[in-house]
C-alpha cells in the first residue's frame, strides 16, 4: 500500500482550490518532476523525482475527479471510509485499479518519450503552448498598458465536442483494445519474456473508432481560430520578460488540458532614459558657469521636469540621484531611483572679446581653486 500523503500539499494548492487552479498546479508540478528531465541525473535524484511524479499524478487523479475529491475531503481517502489508498481493499472496486491503470499510463508514455506532451489515459493529450512576441514603448512598460493581441490557435470543435465524430456520437468502441487505448504484447528479450504495454495501433490510443467524421473539423476534433487576447501588461515590466496566460494556448485532445499562451514582451529603447533594473540613468549637459557658481537646472523624470539644485563647484561626471523617481517595481508600489550624470559643456565658437575676458578671468585664478590641476602639474614637475 502506498504511503499516505496530502494531495493538496503535493500539488501546492489549498483545500478550496478551484478545478482550474488544480489543473494548472498539476501542469506546473508535472513539468517540474517529469522523468524526461531527470534521465541524466544521478540515480538517487532520479528515483526521488520519479516518486514525486507518481504522487503528483495520483493527487491529480483524485482532486480532478469530483467524487473522489469529495470522498477524500470527507474521509481522507478517495475510496471512502473503507478505502485503503490505491490498490487497497474495499471501497468502490474499480477505483483502485483505475488509479493504477492511469498512473501506469502516464509512466509508460513518460518513459517512452513522446516529446514534451504528457500523454494520458485514453489518448488524453495536452495542447501545446503558443508563444507570441509583442513590442511596446518604454513609457508603456513604465506605466503599464492594455494591448489587444491577435493570436491563432487550435480550439475544440463545438460540433463534435472535440471527438472528431459527426455530432459527437458517430463512433464505436475500438475492438482491438476494448476501448482502453492500449494493447498488451509479450516479447522475447535477452532478459526473458516481457509483457509490454503499448498504444493501440487501431485507435491510436483513443479507445474508439470514428464511423462518420465531423464535417466541421474534418475529423480532427479541433479547428484553427483567430482570437484577440486582451492583455494587461503590468507597470514595471522589462524587456524580454514574459507573461503567461493559463489555458489560452492550443486545445488538448480527448480531455487533455489546453496549453498556455506565453507573451514575450519587448520594450523599445527610450531616446534619453536608459534602464537598469528599476533604476534610470541618463546624462544632463550643463554650462560651465552653472557648474562653477551652482544653480537650479531642469531635470526630466518619468513624471515630468523637476528642478534640481546644483551646488557651487560641481565637477563634470558628477552622479546625482533622485530617490524613488525610477520605475515602479512589478507587483509593488515602491519605485527604483533616477540617476543622472552632469556633463559640463565647453563653449565653442567664442568671439575675440569673449576669449579675452576668459583669459583675464583665468589669470585671476589661484592654483588652490583648481586642486586637481595643481596636483597634476606638481606630478609632472617631479
Question: How many Å apart are CA 198 and CA 380, to the nearest integer?
Answer: 86
* Site for Zn ion contains 174 (CB under 5 A): yes
* Site for Zn ion contains 251 (CB under 5 A): no
The contact mask relative to Zn ion for 24-63 (x = CB under 5 A, - = no) is ----------------------------------------
Stretch that binds Zn ion, among 21-29, 160-168, 311-319, 325-333 (CB under 5 A): 160-168
In this complex, which beta carbon is closest to Zn ion, that of residue 29 or of residue 203?
203
Question: How many Å apart are CA 168 and CA 270, to the nearest integer?
Answer: 54
Question: How many Å apart are CA 249 and CA 251, to the nearest integer?
Answer: 6
* Site for Zn ion contains 199 (CB under 5 A): no
The DSSP secondary structure of 309-360, one letter per residue, reads EEPTTPPTT-EEEETT-SPBPTTSS-B--EEEEEEEEPP-S--HHHHHHHHH
Total site size for Zn ion, rule CB under 5 A? 12
Stretch that binds Zn ion, among 90-98, 137-145, 170-178, 357-365 (CB under 5 A): 170-178
Q: Taking the mean position of all CA atoms in its chain, how far away is CA 123?
A: 27
Q: Where are the alpha helices (DSSP H) in 112-250?
A: 138-143
* Site for Zn ion contains 231 (CB under 5 A): no
Q: Please state the closest distance from residue 204 (CB atom) to Zn ion, in A.
A: 8
Site for Zn ion in 313-342 (CB under 5 A): none
Q: Please state the closest distance from residue 101 (CB atom) to Zn ion, in A.
A: 15
Maximum C-alpha span of the chain: 108
In this complex, which beta carbon is closest to Zn ion, that of residue 204 or of residue 321?
204
Stretch that binds Zn ion, among 127-135, 175-183, 184-192, 309-317 (CB under 5 A): 175-183
Q: Please state the closest distance from residue 166 (CB atom) to Zn ion, in A.
A: 8
Site for Zn ion in 176-195 (CB under 5 A): 176-177
Q: Is the dihedral of CA 40, 41, 43, 46 positive or negative?
A: negative
Q: Could you give the 3-state DSSP secondary structure of residue 361?
A: helix
Q: For residue 331, what is its C-alpha cell?
A: 507587483
In this complex, which beta carbon is closest to Zn ion, that of residue 28 or of residue 220?
220
In this complex, which beta carbon is closest to Zn ion, that of residue 64 or of residue 213?
213
Question: How many Å apart are CA 215 and CA 160, to the nearest integer?
Answer: 9
Q: Please state the closest distance from residue 221 (CB atom) to Zn ion, in A.
A: 6
In this complex, which beta carbon is closest to Zn ion, that of residue 73 or of residue 159?
159
- Which of 93, 30, 16 lies closest to 61 in space, CA to CA? 30
In this complex, which beta carbon is closest to Zn ion, that of residue 170 or of residue 287?
170
In this complex, which beta carbon is closest to Zn ion, that of residue 125 or of residue 177?
177
The contact mask relative to Zn ion for 209-228 (x = CB under 5 A, - = no) is -----x-xx-----------
> Which residues have C-beta within 8 Å of that of residue 250, sequence separation ≥ 6?
127, 128, 129, 130, 153, 154, 222, 258, 259
- Segment holding 186, helix H or strand E: strand 182-189
User: Residues in the site for Zn ion, rule: CB under 5 A?
Assistant: 157, 159-160, 174, 176-177, 200, 202-203, 214, 216-217
Amino acid at each position: 500500500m502506498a504511503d499516505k500523503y496530502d494531495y493538496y500539499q503535493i500539488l501546492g494548492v489549498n483545500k478550496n482550490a478551484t478545478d482550474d487552479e488544480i489543473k494548472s498546479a498539476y501542469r506546473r508540478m508535472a513539468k517540474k518532476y517529469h522523468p524526461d528531465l531527470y534521465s541524466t541525473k544521478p540515480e538517487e535524484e532520479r528515483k526521488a523525482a520519479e516518486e514525486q511524479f507518481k504522487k503528483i499524478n495520483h493527487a491529480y487523479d483524485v482532486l480532478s475527479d469530483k467524487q473522489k475529491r469529495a470522498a477524500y475531503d470527507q474521509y481522507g481517502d478517495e475510496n471512502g471510509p473503507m478505502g485503503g489508498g490505491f490498490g487497497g481493499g474495499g471501497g468502490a472496486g474499480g477505483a483502485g485499479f483505475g488509479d493504477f491503470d492511469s498512473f501506469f499510463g502516464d509512466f509508460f508514455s513518460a518513459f517512452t518519450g513522446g516529446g514534451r506532451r504528457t500523454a494520458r489515459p485514453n489518448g488524453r493529450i495536452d495542447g501545446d503552448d503558443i508563444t507570441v512576441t509583442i513590442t511596446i514603448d518604454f513609457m508603456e512598460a513604465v506605466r503599464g498598458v492594455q494591448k489587444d493581441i491577435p493570436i491563432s490557435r487550435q480550439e475544440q470543435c463545438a460540433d463534435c465536442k472535440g471527438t472528431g465524430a459527426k455530432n459527437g456520437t458517430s463512433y464505436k468502441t475500438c475492438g482491438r483494445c476494448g476501448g482502453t487505448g492500449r494493447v498488451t504484447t509479450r516479447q522475447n528479450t535477452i532478459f526473458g519474456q516481457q509483457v509490454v504495454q503499448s498504444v493501440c495501433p487501431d485507435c491510436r490510443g483513443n479507445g474508439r473508432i470514428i464511423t462518420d467524421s465531423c464535417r466541421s473539423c474534418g475529423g480532427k476534433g479541433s479547428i484553427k481560430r483567430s482570437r484577440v487576447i486582451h492583455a494587461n501588461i503590468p507597470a514595471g515590466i522589462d524587456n524580454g520578460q514574459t507573461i503567461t496566460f493559463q489555458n489560452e494556448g492550443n486545445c488538448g485532445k480527448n480531455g487533455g488540458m489546453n496549453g498556455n499562451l506565453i507573451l514575450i514582451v519587448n520594450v523599445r529603447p527610450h531616446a534619453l532614459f536608459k534602464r537598469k533594473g528599476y533604476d534610470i540613468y541618463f546624462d544632463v549637459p550643463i554650462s560651465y558657469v552653472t557648474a562653477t557658481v551652482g544653480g537650479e537646472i531642469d531635470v526630466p523624470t518619468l513624471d515630468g521636469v523637476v528642478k534640481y539644485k546644483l551646488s557651487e563647484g560641481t565637477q563634470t561626471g558628477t552622479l546625482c540621484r533622485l530617490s524613488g523617481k525610477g520605475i515602479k517595481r512589478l507587483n509593488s508600489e515602491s519605485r527604483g531611483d533616477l540617476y543622472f550624470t552632469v556633463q559640463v559643456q565647453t563653449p565653442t565658437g567664442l568671439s575675440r572679446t569673449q576669449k579675452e575676458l576668459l583669459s583675464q578671468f583665468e589669470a585671476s585664478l589661484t592654483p588652490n581653486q583648481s586642486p586637481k590641476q595643481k596636483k597634476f602639474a606638481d606630478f609632472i614637475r617631479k
